[in-house]
Chains A and B, each alone.
Chain A
Amino acid sequence: MQLSGYEGAPSTRLDATFAALADPTRRALLARLIEGEASVTELAAPFEMSQPAISKHLKVLERAGLVTRGRDAQRRPVRVETKPLSEAAGWLDTYRRTLERRFERLDALLDELQTRPKRGVRRRPRRTPSA
């Protein structure tokens, strides 16, 4: 849409975060990991997917920095990392604030146009300014 992107192209890291989140399985995996770390076997259990398929999704999440793997050689538990999510949230927040500031400017402009019609602006019948 036309109301965003003012901070320049999102950083590569944000791109990776958003791409990683743009998949229902990966979002479900993250939702599970929010509750606590888990092994790949444990993560795969509720899904009708093979462990290799789950591992593939985990790699995407890992590359985006959204999860890390523990050192325990046997289990290698997967943990969620919240920092990239916070960064993504900050980005959307900026985006929304940009949008709101724009519309607040438009509010002010509309007020001005209604109280002091200017030449060059489409002529309208005189009306009571709305407060």
Chain B
Amino acid sequence: MRPDATMTVDQPTETSLVFTRRFKAPPPLVFEAFTTPALLRRWMIGPDGWAMTVCEVDLRAGGRFRYVWAKPGVPDMGMGGTFVEVDRPRRIVHRELFDADWTGGETTVTTALTADGDGTVMTLTVQYGSREARDGALATGMTSGMELGYARLDEVLAA
């Protein structure tokens, strides 16, 4: 069974998270949307009130990228990194780090785009530097594992 538009979150190893989601467009177009600044600015934004103020992409192995988001009244949030592998339109591997480093060091992110009928299945694998870093990012998932009975958390992890 192929994933639908619902995002799923998996933990295949102790140091990684995998997000899967289907889009109703072919891989070349999804690839464009993931790598073209003019398009990224249209969707890679935060909750209401946030705007993407910097979006620079040097799309080649060894090239760098830089994103900054801003919202009036709160500090800007920035992140950046380096592309490790660019295989249009199938695969992008990059290393990234938030300025605030809330992920416990650099993470390596692999974006894989697979044709699925008239759409694309995106598999986003985030490799953290350590189990602690991953667990920090997923702390509430572990509370679910403890069977605390937070139905909402089950939804978050099982959806």
Contact = CB atoms under 8 A, between A and B. Distances in A.
A binds B: yes
Interface string A90-109: 01111011111111011111
A6 B38 contact: no
Interface size class of B (residues with CB under 8 A): 35 or more
Interface string B17-44: 1010101111011101100101100111
- Chain A interface mostly helix, strand, loop or mixed? helix
25 contacts: A1-B124, A2-B67, A2-B96, A2-B109, A6-B47, A7-B47, A8-B75, A8-B77, A9-B100, A19-B136, A22-B136, A85-B143, A89-B140, A89-B150, A99-B7, A101-B47, A102-B43, A103-B43, A109-B39, A110-B30, A114-B25, A121-B38, A122-B28, A122-B36, A124-B29
Contact of B25 (A7, A85, A101, A113): A113
B35 to A, nearest CB: 10
B16 to A, nearest CB: 10
Given A6-B46, A8-B75, A106 B33 contact: yes
Contact of A96 (B26, B44, B77, B156): B156
B74 A2 contact: no
A85 B153 CA distance: 11
A22 B140 contact: no
A21 interface: yes
B93 interface: no
A103 B24 contact: no
A102 B17 CA distance: 18
Nearest to A86: B150
Contacts of B145: 27
B135 A22 contact: yes
B152 to A, nearest CB: 6
Contacts of A42: none
